[in-house]
Amino acid sequence: MKKVTAYTILAAITFGLVLVYILKNNLSNFKRKVLNQSNLEADKWLDYDETSSNTSPLIQDYWDRGANANYTLDQIEDVAWQNSHPWSAAYISWVMKVSGAGRHFLYSQRHADYVRDSIDQRELNPKAKFKGYRISEEKPEITDIVCRRRLSSQATYDNVPVNATLHCDIVTKVNKTDVEVIGGNIDNKVKRGNLSLDTLGYLNEANYFIIIKNTL
């Protein structure tokens, strides 16, 4: 089977499954778009990584529209350049932007920027659509964003340094014992993963400390 045909079939199956899940969970139009876009992106990356000529235009677009940063394809396809330019925050920002978050989300190439903003919004703006909570305060739902510390970061909900090294994922499905998530720059691609829940339905994973609730 040719790759194009296989991808078309896979995309159709994914769309069908996402549609069923959307209808079952009564999601808003924005959340539907976030869920569908996240799954579509993950499917595009199944056979590639970040230095492939097939995906470099995707990363270029993540940087451009997600983080307002312009990089050449030659830069993006260079391993050394990639090692010094993590793009996971640009990816999250891109998904939110193309899905129509508009002025409600703080787009950035750094996770810490929109994490800090979500905490500020919770305190200062009751009508904010993206608010940050401790993982012990809110249970994850579809299209919420969950974030963890990386490397030597000591970030906590009460103290997120401007330069904190973080990683965030988008929740795409909630099961009884875990949630399914999609994030960027995981094993050098956009990739699905699973995170454990405790018996009450709260996130139960090391280093995850904040959940950004999406009510748009």
Residue 51 pLDDT: 86
Of 180, 34, 40, 156, nearest to 93 (Cα)? 34
What is the average pLDDT value for the chain, to the nearest integer?
92
What's the chain look like in SS3?
CCHHHHHHHHHHHHHHHHHHHHHHHCCCHHHHHHHHHHHHHHHHCCCCCCCCCCCHHHHHHHHHHHHCCCCCHHHHCCHHHHHCCCCHHHHHHHHHHHHCCHHHCCCCCCHHHHHHHHHHHHHHCCCCCEEEEECCCCCCCCCCEEEEECCCCCCECCECCCCCCEEEEEEEEECCCEEEEEEEEECCEEEEEEEEECCCCCECCCCEEEEEEECC
Residue 21 pLDDT: 53
Looking at the predicted structure, is the pLDDT value of residue 57 above 70?
A: yes
Residue 75 pLDDT: 95
- Classify burial at 115, counting beta carbons within 10 Å of its beta carbon; exposed 0-12, middle 13-18, buried 19 or more: buried
pLDDT in tens, 143-201: 999 999 999 899 999 999 999 999 999 999 999 999 999 999 999 999 999 999 999 99
pLDDT in tens, 6-46: 555 665 565 555 555 555 578 999 999 999 999 999 999 99
For the whole model, what pTM was predicted? 0.88
